[in-house]
Chain A
Amino acid sequence: GPKVLQIPSHQIIDMGQMVTLNCDPVSNHLYFYWYKQILGQQMEFLVNFYNGKVMEKSKLFKDQFSVERPDGSYFTLKIQPTALEDSAVYFCASSFGTGGFQDTQYFGPGTRLLVL
Chain B
Amino acid sequence: QQKVQQSPESLSVPEGGMASLNCTSSDRNFQYFWWYRQHSGEGPKALMSIFSDGDKKEGRFTAHLNKASLHVSLHIRDSQPSDSALYFCAVSELDSGYNKLTFGKGTVLLVSP
Chain A interface (Cβ < 8 Å from any Cβ of B):
1, 4, 6, 31, 33, 35, 41-45, 48, 50, 55-56, 58, 91, 93, 95, 99-110
Q: Does A101 contact B46, Cβ atoms closer than 8 Å?
A: no
Chain A nearest CB, measured from B6 CB (Å) = 9
* B104 in complex: contacting residue of A35, A42, A50, A104, CB < 8 Å: A42
Chain B interface (Cβ < 8 Å from any Cβ of A):
2, 4, 32, 36, 41-46, 49, 51, 88, 92-94, 96-106
Q: Given the complex of chains A and B, what is the CA–CA distance between A95 and B90 in angstroms?
A: 15
Q: Does B96 contact A42, Cβ atoms closer than 8 Å?
A: no
Q: Given the complex of chains A and B, what is the CA–CA distance between A101 and B36 in angstroms?
A: 15
Q: A42-B4, A102-B49 are in contact. Are A91 and B43 (CB under 8 A)?
A: yes
